């Protein structure tokens, strides 16, 4: 078996060989702990029949661990300078395909259709660039891709927000959006000391298992998320004030909003972070009948 990429010595060798310098703008922090990488792969529960989508492979440290266990790995890398390095470090793995593209602009379904043909079990496994974590996760979920789920490393603070429950300071529109589509759990925290260069924050690994159908039934998904975002517009404001301020025509529909809240036994003085996803679903469904007429 090849020498692991993710040891401090081998990583430094590779970086030195190619004269690679880190780009802060791309959020590049490379993991130098093989045990942590193996645990990340364990959490993804891969088999020899699994296809993996990776985002930001860097110099291939996680990619090689994935390639050893999965049927095929397709990795998106935005930094052109890393392509020759990946070609070198992953040369002995014929089941890896690197795509030089920004994943946020990619047609991922098209890539699945062409690169993971006939593979029924697909997982996303990645050490995500911290500056675009949320847009990437949301794109993977809203594109309705045929994936089983994701195991991704991200900033611990974001992981806390994703898996947060109602009534906590971390609970917000991100928690609701991701829990609507998936079962979210933080499976591991990762100290900043196991990266080159060291980031300013600690990291965490979250596992998102895609639900067969969303957690709650909503009349209109876009409006549901609009209501959720509106409710957290200003965290110190009450649910009534936030809905009035942040929904279109909200102020002129104050009476109707108050009526809906009363019907649902939701105290208008409550704050958004105290409402459960079920309560948000009921609220958006009732409000939709009013707002759809006014649109």
φ/ψ region of 292 (left if φ > 0, alpha if ψ in -120 to 50, else beta) reads alpha
Q: From residue 111, how far is each of 106, 139, 210 by CA, in Å?
A: 8, 15, 20
Q: Is 77 annotated as a binding residue?
A: yes
Residue with tokens 């690197």: 98
Q: Which residues of 212-230 are buried (b: 16+ CB within 10 A; e: fewer)?
A: eeeebebeeeebbbbbbbb
Q: Is 127 annotated as a binding residue?
A: yes
Residues in the chain: 295
Q: Is 246 annotated as a binding residue?
A: no
User: In whole angstroms, what separates CA 145 from the centre of its chain?
Assistant: 13
Handedness of CA 248, 252, 255, 256 (dihedral sign): negative
Q: How far apart are CA 186 and CA 171, in angstroms?
A: 14
Q: Is 42 annotated as a binding residue?
A: no
Q: How far apart are CA 64 and CA 29, in angstroms?
A: 17
Q: Is 56 annotated as a binding residue?
A: yes
Binding site for S-adenosyl-L-methionine, residues?
29, 31, 56, 77, 102, 127
Question: Which residues are annotated as part of the binding site?
Answer: 29, 31, 56, 77, 102, 127
């Amino acid at each position: 078996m090849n020498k692991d990429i993710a040891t401090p010595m081998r990583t430094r060798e590779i970086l030195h060989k190619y004269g690679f310098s880190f780009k802060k703008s791309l959020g590049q922090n490379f993991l130098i702990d093989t045990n942590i990488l193996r645990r990340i792969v364990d959490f993804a529960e891969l088999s020899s029949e699994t296809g993996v989508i990776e985002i930001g492979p860097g110099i291939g440290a996680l990619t090689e661990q994935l390639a050893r266990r999965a049927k095929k790995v397709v990795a998106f890398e935005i930094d052109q300078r890393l392509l020759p390095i990946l070609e070198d470090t992953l040369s002995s793995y014929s089941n890896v395909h690197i795509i030089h593209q920004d994943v946020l602009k990619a047609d991922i379904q098209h890539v699945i259709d062409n690169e993971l043909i006939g593979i029924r079990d697909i997982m996303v496994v990645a050490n995500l660039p911290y500056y675009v974590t949320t847009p990437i996760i949301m794109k993977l979920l809203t594109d309705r891709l045929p994936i089983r789920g994701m195991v991704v490393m991200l900033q611990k603070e974001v992981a806390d927000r994703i898996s947060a429950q109602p009534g906590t300071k971390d609970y917000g529109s991100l928690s609701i959006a991701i829990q609507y589509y998936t079962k979210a759990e933080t499976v591991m925290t990762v100290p900043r000391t196991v990266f080159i260069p060291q980031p300013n924050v600690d990291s965490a690994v979250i596992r998102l298992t895609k639900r067969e159908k969303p957690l709650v039934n909503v009349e209109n998904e876009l409006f549901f998320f609009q209501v959720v975002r509106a409710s957290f517009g200003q965290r110190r404001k009450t649910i009534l004030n936030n809905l009035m301020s942040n929904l279109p025509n909200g102020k002129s529909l104050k009476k109707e909003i108050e009526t809906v809240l009363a019907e649902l036994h939701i105290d208008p003085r409550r704050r958004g972070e105290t409402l459960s996803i079920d309560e948000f679903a009921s609220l958006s469904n009732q409000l939709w009948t009013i707002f759809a007429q006014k649109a």
